[in-house]
Amino acid sequence: MSGLEISAVIVSALAVWLTARRHLWCWPIGLVSVLLYARIFFAAKLYSDLLLQLIFAVMQLYGWWQWSSRGAQSSQSSDQHHIQPQRLSKSGWLAGLLAGAIGSVLLGYVMASFTDAHIPWLDSALTSFSLVAQFWMARKYVANWWLWIAVDIIYVGVYIYKDLNLTAGLYAAFIVLAIIGLRNWQRQLVVHQPATAAAAL
């Protein structure tokens, strides 16, 4: 456990909590957190996770732009910093999961063949599906929380295995925050889209 890991845990937890609250500031704070974890994962030789953090840095900017523009804020809310969640279609689910699976195979092959990465296939799968979840989050789809819950459960075991115990604890907290975020976003969807609430994911 290092001071860098402690700082990364605190900043990351704050970013996820703000995301669960649908607050715009989750993105700049999240940008700081992913840069801190990029350094941690480089030292741990979790290169897929390192790559993930660098891509996340770009996606934090994308998400910030998405939530800030084109009517991202709810027109019925007096708080301009909160967004309106959206429902993901079945075809959207299928496309996202297929993209995650393809990315897992391609990245896993590269990491297993050309680097000294530890657990390259599992690490690559988690990286690929995390990118799908992050994209869904940027697009304001409630479904992002379901995927984050699944990914974070596996990440807890990976970080315990890598002796990043504080980070494992953080990801356990992420599971709780993801459940809170799911409930929060679903409630907001019910308020604004009652006719489609039963199908919301």
Which pLDDT belongs to residue 76? 44
CB-based contact 49:164 (threshold 8 Å): no
Distances (CA, A) of 93 to 104, 133, 185, 200: 16, 11, 17, 12
Determine the Cα–Cα distance for residues 53 and 46; give it in Å rounded to an integer.
11
Distances (CA, A) of 173 to 10, 92, 148, 158, 191: 11, 28, 12, 15, 27
Which pLDDT belongs to residue 83? 75
Which pLDDT belongs to residue 195? 47
Phi-psi region for residue 9, left (φ > 0), alpha (ψ -120 to 50) or beta? alpha
Which pLDDT belongs to residue 82? 67
Q: Where are the domains of the chain?
A: 3-72+87-199
pTM over 0.85: no
Rg (CA), the chain: 17
Mean pLDDT by 10 residues, the chain (201 residues): 84 90 90 92 80 86 83 47 84 97 94 85 92 92 96 94 86 93 89 53 53
Q: Name the H helices within the chain.
A: 3-20, 26-43, 47-68, 90-114, 120-138, 143-161, 165-192
- Look up residue 186 and give its amino acid: Q
Which pLDDT belongs to residue 193? 61
Q: 3-class DSSP state for residue 86?
A: strand
Which pLDDT belongs to residue 1? 61
Nearest Cα residue to 142 out of 91, 104, 179? 179
